[in-house]
Amino acid sequence: MSRPKHFFLVAVSICIFACATAGDRGGQPLVTAIAKDAATSLYTIPAKSGRPLVLDLSGPIVWSTCDDDGASHDTLECNDMDCMRAHRFHPPNCPHNGNGMPDAQNDHRCKCTAHPHNPVSGDTASGDMVRVTLSANATDGKNPLHEVSFTAAASCAPDSLLAGLPAGAVGVAGLARSGLAFPAQVARTQGVANSFALCLGNRERAGVAIFGGGPLFAANGRSITDMLGGDTPLRKHGESPGYYVTASRGVFVDGARVPLDDSYGPLAIGFSTTTPYALVRRDVYRPLIDAFDRAMERDGAITAGARIPSPAGSPFELCYNSSRLSLTRFGYFVPTVGFGLEGGASWAVQGINSMALVIGRRMACFGFVEMKEGDKAGYGGGAAPAVVLGGLQMEENLVVFDEEKRTMAFTGQINGRGLSCSNFNFTMPA
Ligand SMILES: *[C@@H]1O[C@H](CO)[C@@H](O)[C@H](O)[C@H]1NC(C)=O
Ligand SMILES: *[C@@H]1O[C@H](CO)[C@@H](O)[C@H](O)[C@H]1NC(C)=O
Ligand SMILES: *[C@@H]1O[C@H](CO)[C@@H](O)[C@H](O)[C@H]1NC(C)=O
């Protein structure tokens, strides 16, 4: 009797040692490069056999075109746990019609159907829920170490649902707060935390994403994760599976509080990787634009005549002759827009994250546009959030979305500290 017991103790102590040193749940986080498509301003990761999936912070599932006509893939059963998860969030304007339909070959079997949603066109389709193979590289936060393939539940989608996505993209990797989103499936299959870090680059320079928690180092050995500020609580916004925080201390332009109508309740700030610029609800838009315009003049940041009419069809209202603005490490020298978040952190938007370059870069426009009816960055009806920060606002900033702690943390833009989201060393050690 004593021998097995002794053996058991040894096994337990090895596990305690191994688990403690391996961190979290023994697994290794996964890293992937993030490309920004010039034509669509969307961000992609090469996670489907090297083919790109579009990142969608508001998307609750992973979907892609299936390589066959439905004859050869194995569709999940309607009572599969992953089928239930696929129906936890419902796309806008899509009828509820149960979890699936009877199998044509076997009427005792119910085939699971999901509703893949295109965040750009707003279209929704129906597709079989299947298991697919996705891949990324394991990482120690410094380099990719080796490629990892894992099985994930995903929805098939017709080719027509790819409209508006980058050329070559085969679907969408939803990153939202859902059990079937890409980060949650990495967490379950790899034994890592349900937490991920996004460092979006731009058209010229790729960014990086790490799924399963940090750390993240630049190639020069500096830890980027060490620069993260305090945690900001994530809040629910209606039925949306996306990421929202509350700007409980208000909105600022160059440190001065923008006067807002507070009858709309707490200022919900959302995050979207599928809208290129910030979308601002009407009641916040006008005061923000006016405050920015006045601060531009007061600062003397611009000389008279630098403000030029916005080109026809442009979503922007405030545009400037870029050769009359001065350029700094933080982008154009313009007033800083700040969001005073619950928990004490401030999300500061400097020129690099506020000014959109248009017409061959001769013009720089304030990248906060008025939200249109229906622009709520995806899922969930009800009231629109006050602001949805877009891709431009998140670039060159390491942002960690931690579903386990239900918090978000960010470094603020890192260019001013001599770093960039393109600094990760993607060379695999020999
Ligand atoms: C893994 O890393 C290597 C080396 O950087 C890269 O060529 C490959 O595309 C990566 N694989 C994935 C799935 O990202
Ligand atoms: C922008 O400013 C430059 C330099 O002052 C000037 O030459 C150019 O004509 C201006 N462009 C526009 C569109 O006003
Ligand atoms: C990137 O990582 C590889 C493999 O560890 C190493 O040989 C190389 O020197 C690193 N590059 C830089 C710029 O540090």
Predicted pLDDT at 304: 65
Q: What is the mean pLDDT of residues 118-139?
A: 95
Q: Does domain 30-211 fall into CATH 2.40.70.10?
A: yes
State the average pLDDT over residues 110-123: 93
Q: Distance from the CA of 423 to the center of ligand 3, in angstroms?
A: 11
Of all residues in the chain, what percent carry a pLDDT higher than 70?
Answer: 89
Q: From the CA of 142, how far away is ligand 3's center (Å)?
A: 9
Average pLDDT over residues 116-139: 95
Q: How far is the CA of 425 from the centre of ligand 3 (A)?
A: 6
What architecture (CATH level 2) is domain 225-417? Beta Barrel (2.40)
Contact of 23 with 191, CB cutoff 8 Å: no
Ligand closest to Cα of 144 equals 1
Residue 422 in this model has a pLDDT that exceeds 70: yes
- Of all atoms in ligand 3, which is nearest to the CA of residue 219? 14
Q: Write out pLDDT tens, residues 82-95.
A: 999 999 888 877 77
pLDDT confidence band for 72 (50 / 70 / 90):
low
- Measured at the alpha carbon of residue 398, what is the angle toward residues 397 and 402, in degrees to the nearest 5? 135
Q: Give residue 219 CA to ligand 3 midpoint distance, Å.
A: 7
Residue 185, token pair as written in the block: 């499936």
pLDDT value at 262 more than 90: no
CA of 427 to the centre of ligand 3 (A): 6
Alpha-carbon span 195 to 206, nearest angstrom: 21
Q: Looking at the predicted structure, is the pLDDT value of residue 96 above 90?
A: no
DSSP string for residues in 104-168: SS-TT-EEEEE--B-TTT--B--EEEEEEEEEEEEE-SSSEEEEEEEEEEEEEE-GGGGTTSPTT
Task: For residue 302, name the pLDDT band (cuts at 50, 70, 90).
Answer: low
Give 403-421 pLDDT, tens digit per residue: 999 999 999 999 989 999 9
Q: Which residues line ligand 2 (CB under 6 A)?
A: 308, 321, 323-324
**Tens of pLDDT along 183-223?**
999 999 999 999 999 999 988 899 999 999 889 999 889 99
Which residue minimizes the CA distance to atom 9 of ligand 2? 321
Summarize the confidence of residues 373-380 as an average pLDDT. Answer: 55
C-alpha triplet 55, 343, 229: angle, nearest 5°: 60
Question: pLDDT tens for residues 16-42?
Answer: 444 333 345 679 999 999 999 999 999
Question: Which residues line the pocket of ligand 1, CB cutoff 6 A?
Answer: 32, 46, 135-137, 144, 147, 426, 428
CA of 428 to the centre of ligand 3 (A): 8
Nearest bound ligand to CA 145?
A: 1
Using most ligand atoms within 8 A of CB, pick from 220, 424, 427 the residue to mutate for ligand 3: 427
Token code pair at residue 325: 């603005």
Q: Which residue blocks in 206-299 are alpha helix, DSSP H?
A: 282-299
Hey, CA dihedral for 384, 386, 390, 395, is it positive or negative?
negative
**Tokens coding 140:** 């120690």
Per-residue confidence (pLDDT) for residue 48, from 0 to 100: 95
Domain boundaries, the chain: 30-211, 225-417
Task: Specify the residue with its C-alpha closest to ligand 3, atom 13.
Answer: 219
Local structure of 353: helix, strand or coil: helix
Q: Pocket of ligand 3, candidates 31, 425, 426, 428: which has the most ligand atoms within 8 Å of its Cβ, to mutate?
A: 425
Cα of 314 to ligand 2 centre, how many Å? 19
Helix (H, G, I), strand (E, B) or coil at 282: helix
Atom of ligand 1 nearest to the CA of 427: 5
Nearest CA to 298 among 354, 364, 254?
A: 254
- Strand-by-strand arrangement of the 256-257 sheet: 256-257, 250-253, 337-340, 346-349
- Annotate 290-314 with DSSP letters as a single string: HHHHHHHHHHT-S-TT-EEPPPTT-
Q: What is the pLDDT of residue 91?
A: 81
Characterize the bridge pairing of strands 307-308 and 319-321: antiparallel
